Amino acid sequence: MLFSSLVWLALVCSVPQSMACLRIMSPGGVVPMPRPTMAPITAPTAAPMTSAAATTKITTTTTTTTTTTTTTTTTTTTPAPKTCPASADMASVFLKSDVSFINYSYGQVSPSETCTTCEGGEVSYFPSADSDVPASGSEAIGTITGASCPRMCICDPSGVCWKLTSPDVIVTFWPYCTGGSCGVYTYLIVDSDTDGLETEDGSRRISASSQLDADYDTVSVTDSSFYVNAASIGCDGCVQSSCKTTSAM
Ligand SMILES: *[C@@H]1O[C@H](CO)[C@@H](O)[C@H](O)[C@H]1NC(C)=O
């Protein structure tokens, strides 16, 4: 039976239409048709073009941003900051209009000169004290108490601003020049060991006790670790003045 079937198949399939025969005999009747293999060709062709276009776009955007920044800077710079002249032999400081000094037994010197170019206050010039160590007497610029000026803010020539750690802090300002460089230095008076001045961001603190050495003698004002050189003083929080004094460094 099997043999005769095979013979029949061989015979039938040896005729010229053998292909047709094999298709008919396929098990499920499913004829695998060769599929067209053209589909993927379209996709990769456009890719490099898109990349190039993107790069060009980025370059264009960068150029636009730079132009905008330049314009902004120019606008900000246009009203030139007002200045007062520097002095190599007098200590100068910008005093906002709300600042007033008292004589807290260290002195209250009147300014030798003032410069009124700047708004909101004036730059005052003071003669140097004889000593680099603050002492009772008459050579201090004067004193401001935290009680009378609790939002006191002192900015140094580098633009760092300092505030009181407590309204109990009292600051005496000591003018001193040496080697052609002058400053207005903060001598601190407070009962607490830790209170004094602190930078606006809280990263640095100078306490009143740190201005005393191991023998309880006052440290020289030229030690920048323990004294702030005041470029501006105000009683209404830390608002930088556009008026810079250059009495120091
Ligand atoms: C400030 O007080 C001190 C000490 O009491 C005194 O020697 C000095 O003359 C006073 N100065 C002024 C300008 O009042």
Can you give the pLDDT of all 249 residues of the chain as single tens digits?
444 444 444 444 444 444 443 444 444 444 445 554 444 444 444 444 444 444 444 444 444 444 444 544 555 555 666 778 888 899 999 999 999 999 999 999 999 999 998 889 999 999 999 999 999 999 999 999 999 999 999 999 899 999 999 999 999 999 999 999 999 999 999 988 899 999 999 999 999 999 999 999 999 999 999 999 999 999 998 876 666 555 543
Distance 105 CA to ligand 1 centre (A): 5
Domain presence at residue 15: no
Residue 86 burial (CB < 10 Å; 0-12/13-18/19+)?
A: middle
Specify the number of domains making up the chain: 1
* Nearest alpha carbon, ligand 1 atom 2: 105
Q: Distances from the Cα of 97 to the Cαs of 120, 127, 142, 159, in angstroms?
A: 6, 21, 15, 19
Domain presence at residue 160: yes
- Domain residues for the domain of 238 are 83-246
Domain presence at residue 193: yes
Pocket probe for ligand 1: among 100, 101, 102, 103, the residue whose CB has the most ligand atoms within 8 Å is 103
Q: Classify 148 in phi/psi space as left (phi over 0), alpha (psi -120 to 50) or beta.
A: alpha
Distance 127 CA to ligand 1 centre (A): 16
Distance 189 CA to ligand 1 centre (A): 17
pLDDT at site 86:
83
Give the bridge partners for 144, in sequence order.
171
Domain presence at residue 51: no
* Nearest alpha carbon, ligand 1 atom 7: 137
Domain presence at residue 57: no
Residue type for position 215: D
pLDDT at site 61:
43
Distance 248 CA to ligand 1 centre (A): 27
User: Model-level pTM?
Assistant: 0.68
In degrees, rounded to 5, the angle at the alpha carbon of residue 70 between the alpha carbons of residues 72 and 243 is 55
Domain presence at residue 148: yes
Domain presence at residue 37: no
Atom of ligand 1 nearest to the CA of 109: 13
pLDDT at site 245:
59
Atom of ligand 1 nearest to the CA of 137: 7
- CA 90 to mean position of chain CA atoms: 32
Domain presence at residue 35: no
